[in-house]
Amino acid sequence: MASIRPFAALRPRPDLAARICELPYDVLSTEEARALARGNPLSFLHVSKSEIDFPPGTDPCQPAVYAKARENFQRLIAEGALRQDPRPAFHLYRQVQGAHSQVGLVAVASCEEYETGVIRKHELTRPDKEDDRARHIEALNAQTGPAFLVYPARQSLNDLVNAALARPPEIDFVAPDGVRHSAWVVAEPDQIAFIQREFEQVPRLYIADGHHRSAAAVRVYRSRQGAGQSPWYLNVIFPDDQVRILPYNRVLKTLNGLSPAQVLERLKEVFEVQSPGEAVPRQPHTLGFYLRKTWHTLRFRPERVAGQTPADRLDVSLLQQHVLEPLFGIANPRTSDQISFVGGIRGTAELERLVDSGEYACAFSLFPTRVRDLMAIADAGAIMPPKSTWFEPKLRDAMFCHLI
Minimum mean pLDDT range among 5-14, 143-152, 292-301, 378-387: 378-387
User: Which residues have C-beta within 8 Å of that of residue 324, sequence separation ≥ 6?
Assistant: 250, 252, 330, 333, 339
Asked if residue 380 lies in contact with residue 152, where contact means CB atoms within 8 angstroms, the answer is no
pLDDT in tens, 62-74: 999 999 999 999 9
Where do the CATH 3.30.1760 domains begin and end in the chain?
A: 248-367
Correct CATH for 248-367 of 3.30.1760, 3.30.160, 3.40.50, 1.20.5 = 3.30.1760
pLDDT at 328 over 80: yes
**pLDDT value, residue 387:** 85
**pLDDT value, residue 1:** 82
**pLDDT value, residue 123:** 87
Pairing of β 119-120 and β 10-12 = unpaired
What does 245-260 look like in DSSP terms, one character per residue? EE-EEEEES--TT--H
Please classify residue 337 by burial: count the beta carbons closer than 10 Å to its beta carbon, then call 0-12 exposed, 13-18 middle and 19+ buried: exposed
Alpha-carbon radius of gyration of the chain: 22
pLDDT interval class at 309 (50, 70, 90): confident
pLDDT in tens, 240-256: 999 999 999 999 999 99
pLDDT in tens, 158-189: 999 999 999 999 999 999 999 999 999 999 99
Pairing of β 232-239 and β 147-151 = parallel
Q: Report the percentage of the chain scoring pLDDT > 90.
A: 92
**Which SS3 state, helix, strand or coil, does residue 19 take?**
helix
Smallest CA-to-CA distance from 57 within 29, 28, 36, 38 is with 29
